[in-house]
Structure 1
Amino acid sequence: MTWSGHWHGYGPWTGSRDAYGQEALRRPGGELNSEQTRAFVASALPPLMTGHWLMRQDQTATDRTWTCAVAAATWLKSTYEANPPAERDDGGRAYVTLEDKIAHAMDSLPRGVDVCWVHYTKSQSLISFSVVCCLNHHHPGLPCPLPPA
C-alpha cells in the first residue's frame, strides 16, 4: 500500500473504564453541525475510530505533528514509558513488549495505518494515546487540522 502524508499525536487520555465506555461521546453524529457532533468535538474521550481525532482541531498540537514516522514512534515510546502498564499479580505478561509495539508502529505508520495504544496503568486507570495518519485512509474527506510547518 502506498501512502504519503504526515502524522498527528493525540492524548494521552487517562480515565476510568466507565468513562471510556461512554460510546455516544466517542463518535460524531451524521451531520457536521449536529448536537452529537458538537459534543463529540468538545469531548476529550478518545474516538471509537482513530481518524475522527482529526475533527478535533483544538486537540492537535504542533509539537505532536510529524513528517517522520520515527519521530511519531518516539513519542509513542516516551508516552508509554511515562505511563507504564499495570503488571499482573501472578507475574505473567499482560501486554506485548514495548519493542514489539514499536516494531508494529514502524511497520504500520509509513503505510498510512493509524496506531492506538490503550492499557491499564498501575493505578488501574485506562490510558489511550494515538498517532493518526493525515490524510487518513478511512476518512479521506476530513481536512488536516494542522499541516506540518
Structure 2
Amino acid sequence: MALHWHGYAWIGNGGIPDAQRRPEPDTGFRGNDYPPLVTGHWLLKPPRLVRGTWDAAEDAIAWLREQYDASPETGGPTLETRLWHATDGLPRGNDVTWAYWLGGGRFAHFTVVSCPRPLAPAIPCPAGRN
C-alpha cells in the first residue's frame, strides 16, 4: 500500500481533559473532535474529521501552511522551521503536528498523519485505503 496522508485541524479551548483524548472505553474519545494524545490515534476518530487526504507530501505541507496562515502563531518556531521539518519528515512516514496557543485560552492543533501505520497495522485508514 502506498503511503498517503490525512489532515486534521482543531481550534478550541486548550483545557481538554486528558481522559477524553485517549481511545479507552467510555471516555467519549471516538465521538469528540479533540486532538488525541497519540498522533496516530487521529485515524481512530470518525472519518468526518479528516480535512484532507493527499498522495503527495507536498500537498499535505501546502495544507499545513494554509492552516498556519489562517491562524498564525505569535511565537515559537518560525514558519520556515516548521516547513523544513514537515518537508523532511512526511516523505519518510513521520507525522507532523503544528500545535500552539492563539491567545485567550484558545489552542490550534493541525496534524498530518501518515497512513498506513506499519507499526500499528490494526489502525484502519479512514478512507478505506489499507
The TM-score, its normalising length taken from structure 2, stands at 0.89
Q: State the alpha-carbon separation in 2 of the partners of residues 53 and 115 from structure 1.
A: 12
Cα–Cα, structure 1 residues 138 and 48, in superposed 2: closer, same or farther, change >3 Å?
Answer: farther
The TM-score, its normalising length taken from structure 1, stands at 0.79
What does residue range 105-144 of structure 1 map to in structure 2 within 5 Å? Answer: 105-144=86-125
Q: State the alpha-carbon separation in 2 of the partners of residues 137 and 125 from structure 1.
A: 34
| Identical-residue share of aligned pairs (%) | 39
Structure 1: 4+ residue segments shifted above 6 A: none
How far residue 35 of structure 1 moved from its aligned partner, in angstroms, is: 2.4
Are the aligned partners of 2:61 and 2:86 in contact in 1 as well (CA < 8 Å)? yes
The corresponding residue for 1:89 is none
Aligned-partner residue type, residue 86 of structure 2: A
Report the secondary structure of 1:121's partner residue: strand
The corresponding residue for 2:7 is 9
Report the secondary structure of 1:99's partner residue: helix
How far residue 140 of structure 1 moved from its aligned partner, in angstroms, is: 2.2
How far residue 16 of structure 1 moved from its aligned partner, in angstroms, is: 1.9
How far residue 138 of structure 1 moved from its aligned partner, in angstroms, is: 4.0
- Between structure 1 and structure 2, the one with the greater Rg is 1
Q: Which runs of 5+ in 1 are unaligned?
A: 87-93
Q: Give yes or no for the alignment of 1:82 onto 2:70.
A: yes
Q: State the alpha-carbon separation in 2 of the partners of residues 138 and 96 from structure 1.
A: 29
How far residue 139 of structure 1 moved from its aligned partner, in angstroms, is: 2.3
Q: State the alpha-carbon separation in 1 of the partners of residues 103 and 23 from structure 2.
A: 31
Q: State the alpha-carbon separation in 2 of the partners of residues 107 and 85 from structure 1.
A: 21
Aligned-partner residue type, residue 58 of structure 2: V
Tell me which protein shows more strand as a share of its residues: 2
Are the aligned partners of 2:14 and 2:105 in contact in 1 as well (CA < 8 Å)? no
**CA-atom RMSD in angstroms:** 1.8
What does residue range 16-31 of structure 1 map to in structure 2 within 5 Å? Answer: 16-19=13-16, 22-29=17-24
Q: Which runs of 5+ in 2 are unaligned?
A: none
Q: State the alpha-carbon separation in 1 of the partners of residues 29 and 120 from structure 2.
A: 16
Cα shift readout 1:17-75 (whole Å, capped 9, x = no counterpart)? 212xx11010101xxxx323xx11101100001100111123124xx100000000000
